[in-house]
Structure 1
């Protein structure tokens, strides 16, 4: 139980960290201010402010985000009119820190009750100083000033020139795409690592790698290097087809045609009856050919990456063509259940699970749903087609609808997962 919980937190943390780092890195490259880089959701349990970005770890390991200046997550309601704050000034009499928290005290801070502010374009803040409501005083705010929020977390203000909408369209598109892209890269790297942890890479050819001593195949004269081409007259193009044909004939005589040194040979044998779970299968005692060279291991990683991506697309296609079901989706509860199964298979099981989840996260995030990265990219493409910015009101409504849809879907999926794994 404890190992599963720790593994779940590590796997989920890696997925979120890699995904959000993609957004973070390309936003920084584009000159977009990343106000906060958060791992986890809910209350903050640790934070550190460095180079204009506040790095936070939150209590619930169920996601994360980057708070881009002017982005969807950048909803700053800390400095409303009437809010009491203290100001810290620099030598040029500019405000460099605005403290709205009772948990932090500024040295020689100037008490102010906010009347109005502009921290985007003209960079000023005005209000009543020391409780004197007879006049409103206005102070210039430094471009790189910080705000200490109510919970004590320090973040940079967001002037317009460092907001995401001030970046070029290609830079914004790359920033939105970078999260899923990083998930694909992570999956490929993990699958390649898996390729190097395996003792050998199956070739899936119909060539025998090894014949077990005293087995049915050994007694029939089969040798390593023989290529089984037909079973009971049916062609076998690869190892999977060949083993399926043999396993379906337990304790029954079969005719095996094979090639050795370019010559065709034929032999009859009776596969041994073996119990595999609840099934009875036939075995003749042969093992698949395996390779250990670097190229084969790299190819294995790429093949598993493509195979996993294709499988996920097939599932999505099935949902659209055969009807939607909540059982086709899985939230944190399903991931936890999957983590439990993967943990029982050891390190390789966890790595394979991590790679599959990473591909899944990347593909799902690219779906054209508002509030997901794919939805943002669709808006970017529309902007490129019409050659003008989409009205903020329209974009805000679309994003809000997307968030509401995702929130409702997450609630339904989570409840369905709880029923599937813990109640039924």
Structure 2
């Protein structure tokens, strides 16, 4: 079932991203007076479609069929993305039918440099606009829930936070001389702002004001391991039971959905990291677990599994003050633009950290299998998480597509600029060779990322 779910969400995500991208090329070509022969949802053989010559039809169009300048809007067999076929353009279809004919006024190759640049960058622009739209919708519909505390409740063992000297009870006053009064800003400024840069943290400990420093490389390595909060948990943060495995220790004990975990062997649980740490010390050994159900405080002995698990799915609850900020349309749009810019900056910063060796390329580069798995996971968390995932992936697709590599939009962009400078078209055969090289490189990259995906799943 999980496999089918992964495939479904992969098809949805890739379908949305690619169709939006190709629609950008389509609209730009139409606005530039360039003929578009086909706009397809899906790849492979044509299942059905519509054009103004013979209306709605099923199956493949005859080889000698003439569209007379109209576009065939089609749905194809493989529900993976889509494509747009632009007349007179050397693309991944490697169409050579026009090589020995002079450029026609409706063809891509007959247009000026600006028109070509518009058409070739329109897909990337649409992906950025999609990200802005999604981030804006989330901001407008959901607002922003702010945890109004800057006091630390728990510091994870062997974490970045512990290594720099942060302790439970510390109040974080500022980060890089910018005042913080809520937990959202603390995590954002520590982890994401100026990604990879050293951060200066000013705290209040008792009556003393201290300034601590954390190396940017440490932050990056922590995030790369999945620890976005650097080992910090705010005060008034509780772990509750979301679901229970009936035959696991938690199920046999009688834990129920909604129960809040309080302590293990009288040691208070202030974070999920603390829970897992305490359980790891008592593998297959009896512990006294205390939990809260409604207004009742319950306690009983239970034996964790050999790998230190109780067998429940955790949830997290902040019991402190929470403010919800709501945004108007234009404020939300501004937030969407800011979040898209932040995502773009984070992408380039992450690439820089890969080259610095702080992030493993093997662990951070994902292919279709990891995209499918992540899409399914985000969808299980809710619509907002799923939409946010699509927006982030849309930014990634836009950036990758504009890289100056053969077969990508960025490769076409370089060729267009060269032709604009030398004021003549490069030989079509040369373009075909470049395109073939690009496709070959992409195939090799896909083999690598799929192999990498499989290796990570096995691991």
Which of the five TM-score ranges fits, normalised by the shorter chain? 0.5 to 0.7
Instruction: Give a deviation string over 1:349-385, Cα, whole Å, max 9, x none.
Output: 1110111111111111011101100111111112222
Contact residue 149 and residue 235 of structure 2 kept, 8 A: no
Tell me which residue corresponds to 1:291: 325
TM-score by length of structure 2 reads 0.59
Q: Which stretch has the larger CA shift, 325-334 or 234-243? A: 234-243
Tell me which residue corresponds to 1:224: none
TM-score by length of structure 1 reads 0.63
Contact residue 20 and residue 179 of structure 1 kept, 8 A: yes
The match for 1:170 among 94, 99, 114 is 114
Contact residue 194 and residue 348 of structure 1 kept, 8 A: yes
The match for 2:132 among 183, 188, 192 is 188
Larger fraction in strand = 1
Change (3 A) 1:343 1:232: closer
Measured after TM superposition, the shift of residue 11 of structure 1 is 2.1
Tell me which residue corresponds to 1:235: 173
Measured after TM superposition, the shift of residue 342 of structure 1 is 0.7
Q: Which stretch has the larger CA shift, 374-383 or 288-297? A: 288-297
Using the alignment, how far apart are the partners of 2:205 and 2:319 within structure 1? 14
Q: What pairs with 1:386-405 in structure 2 (closer than 5 Å)?
A: 386-405=422-441
Using the alignment, how far apart are the partners of 2:269 and 2:414 within structure 1? 54
Change (3 A) 1:119 1:34: farther
Q: How many matched pairs?
A: 306
Tell me which residue corresponds to 2:23: 21
Change (3 A) 1:54 1:287: same
Measured after TM superposition, the shift of residue 120 of structure 1 is 4.4
Using the alignment, how far apart are the partners of 2:433 and 2:355 within structure 1? 26
Q: What pairs with 1:123-138 in structure 2 (closer than 5 Å)?
A: none
Tell me which residue corresponds to 1:201: 144
Contact residue 4 and residue 343 of structure 1 kept, 8 A: no
Using the alignment, how far apart are the partners of 1:5 and 1:12 within structure 2? 11
Contact residue 208 and residue 289 of structure 1 kept, 8 A: no
Tell me which residue corresponds to 1:9: 11
Q: What pairs with 1:22-421 in structure 2 (closer than 5 Å)?
A: 22-50=24-52, 52-73=70-91, 75-76=94-95, 120=101, 160-198=104-142, 200-202=143-145, 235-236=173-174, 237-238=179-180, 239-240=182-183, 255=206, 273-279=268-274, 286-294=320-328, 296-322=331-357, 325-421=361-457
Tell me which residue corresponds to 1:113: none
Larger radius of gyration: 1
Using the alignment, how far apart are the partners of 1:274 and 1:418 within structure 2? 36
Change (3 A) 1:296 1:26: closer
- SS of equivalent residue, structure 2 residue 366: coil
Contact residue 38 and residue 57 of structure 1 kept, 8 A: yes
Change (3 A) 1:374 1:119: closer
> Which runs of 5 or more residues in structure 2 are unaligned?
53-68, 154-168, 188-203, 210-233, 237-267, 278-316
Measured after TM superposition, the shift of residue 181 of structure 1 is 0.3
Measured after TM superposition, the shift of residue 312 of structure 1 is 1.3
- SS of equivalent residue, structure 1 residue 162: coil
Change (3 A) 1:173 1:242: closer
Larger relative CO (CA 8 A, sep 6+): 1 or 2?
2
Using the alignment, how far apart are the partners of 1:284 and 1:342 within structure 2? 21
Change (3 A) 1:276 1:381: same
Change (3 A) 1:256 1:367: farther
- SS of equivalent residue, structure 2 residue 406: coil
- SS of equivalent residue, structure 1 residue 160: coil
> Which runs of 5 or more residues in structure 1 are unaligned?
80-116, 122-158, 216-230, 245-252, 259-269
- Cα RMSD over matched residues? 3.6
Using the alignment, how far apart are the partners of 2:172 and 2:273 within structure 1? 27
Instruction: Give a deviation string over 1:27-83, Cα, whole Å, max 9, x none.
Output: 111121111112222233223334611222222233322111122245458x9xxxx
Change (3 A) 1:232 1:361: closer
